[in-house]
């Protein structure tokens, strides 16, 4: 959904607030200041840490993982204090539809002209949920995880999943969403996390996603360690080493182009000294309890917390000494341990 289409659907009483913040963002973002004169345009908000899958590369699969659902009053407090937001990614470590209030969160955000995007595993997309999603006019993008082109590969990575159910639910959602006017419906994207266990199916995944009717496909090609050494060690063994396989993906991207099916490689976590992380200046992450962490790659406040929105106003946290110090370290390439996993080059 384009910025113009977002702006014309924002309630007038919040429009000038948002535009004023956008102007400040445009003027000052490029300077990478430590204390920011603008508030974020986007925010990641985690509705739940619960998930019905136990994917082999995910922190949720840890033996002592604790499921927590964000309470609706916590969500409302975050939104009420951030009316300047244009969009939120309403998704974190868990499967968003595990939280029974999830659809209420989307509806509440619409009151302030805030658009929503999210990633789902597709397993809980019931007919009533699909109908509800189609009724909402503030969903900008729906991502569905497709980590295999065959039942064996898919279910081998996404433990407790049912490939046939995901395919069925995905078809139903896409068929219904695409009945809406194109400029009024969300983008429906496939997200595929490529690792050694599904690398051999990367091109077949593209073909499957095109046949299912997705608007596009994004490959994520580097696994995160969630800022935790045990997961960094585990996922390092699964990593495909994108630098050695970039030509392979370029060939798939070109094949997609010839089929009029957009394919890309996500590069937000393929970082270097010359291509630094943008999250400290753009997109904070708020977990189920209201704790602010650096990004969606480091979502656990036990690794690092920049403050709690239940104790302080977000704007105080956004420009706190902790946040400013974090921005300074990223800008100066003085990487903290939990950030190093995303950097291809650490020189």
Contacts of 178 (CB under 8 A, 6+ apart): 185, 188, 213
Alpha helices in the chain (DSSP H): 3-7, 12-28, 72-80, 102-110, 127-135, 151-157, 163-177, 202-212, 229-236, 246-258, 279-282, 314-318, 321-331
Extract the residue ranges of the chain whose pLDDT is less than 70: 1-7, 344-347
Share of the chain above pLDDT 70, in %: 97
Residue-wise pLDDT for 301-329, tens only, equals: 999 999 999 999 999 999 999 999 999 99
Contacts of 244 (CB under 8 A, 6+ apart): none
**The two three-digit tokens of residue 340, written as one number:** 């190093």
Gap between the Cα atoms of 245 and 249, Å rounded: 7
**The two three-digit tokens of residue 60, written as one number:** 């949720």
Gap between the Cα atoms of 219 and 265, Å rounded: 5
Q: What is the pLDDT of residue 346?
A: 43
Instruction: For residue 95, give the 3-state DSSP assignment.
Output: coil
CA angle 189, 194, 197 (to 5 degrees): 135
Residue-wise pLDDT for 246-298, tens only, equals: 999 999 999 999 999 999 999 877 899 989 999 999 999 999 999 999 999 99
The residue whose two tokens read 């003085």 is: 334
Q: What is the pLDDT of residue 347?
A: 44
């Amino acid at each position: 959904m384009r910025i113009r289409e977002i702006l014309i659907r924002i309630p007038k009483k919040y429009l000038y607030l948002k535009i004023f913040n956008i102007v400040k963002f445009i003027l000052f973002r490029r300077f990478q200041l430590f204390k920011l004169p603008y508030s974020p345009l986007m925010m990641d908000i985690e509705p739940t840490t619960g998930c019905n899958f136990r994917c082999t590369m995910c922190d949720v699969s840890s033996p002592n993982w604790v499921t927590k659902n964000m309470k609706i009053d916590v969500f409302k407090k975050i939104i009420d204090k951030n009316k300047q937001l244009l969009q939120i990614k309403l998704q974190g470590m868990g499967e968003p539809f595990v939280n029974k209030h999830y659809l209420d969160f989307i509806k509440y955000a619409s009151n302030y002209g805030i658009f929503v995007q999210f990633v789902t595993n597709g397993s809980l997309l019931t007919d009533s949920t699909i109908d509800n999603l189609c009724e909402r006019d503030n969903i900008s993008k729906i991502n569905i995880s497709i980590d295999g082109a065959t039942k064996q590969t898919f279910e081998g990575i996404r433990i407790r999943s049912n490939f046939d159910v995901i395919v069925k639910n995905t078809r139903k959602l896409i068929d219904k969403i695409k009945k809406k006017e194109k400029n009024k419906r969300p983008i429906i994207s496939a997200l595929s996390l490529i690792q050694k266990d599904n690398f051999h199916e990367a091109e077949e995944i593209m073909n499957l996603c095109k046949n299912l009717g997705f608007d596009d496909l994004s490959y994520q090609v580097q696994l995160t360690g969630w800022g935790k050494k045990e997961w960094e060690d585990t996922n390092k063994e699964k990593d495909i080493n994108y630098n050695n396989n970039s030509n392979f993906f370029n060939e798939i991207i070109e094949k997609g182009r010839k089929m009029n099916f957009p394919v890309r490689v996500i590069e937000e976590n393929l970082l270097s000294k010359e291509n630094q992380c943008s999250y400290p200046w753009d997109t904070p992450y708020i977990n189920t309890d209201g704790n602010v962490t650096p990004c969606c790659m480091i979502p656990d406040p036990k690794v690092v917390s920049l403050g709690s929105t239940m104790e302080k106003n977000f704007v105080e946290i956004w420009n706190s000494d902790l946040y400013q110090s974090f921005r300074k370290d990223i800008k100066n390439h003085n990487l903290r341990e939990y950030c190093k996993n995303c950097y291809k080059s650490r020189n």
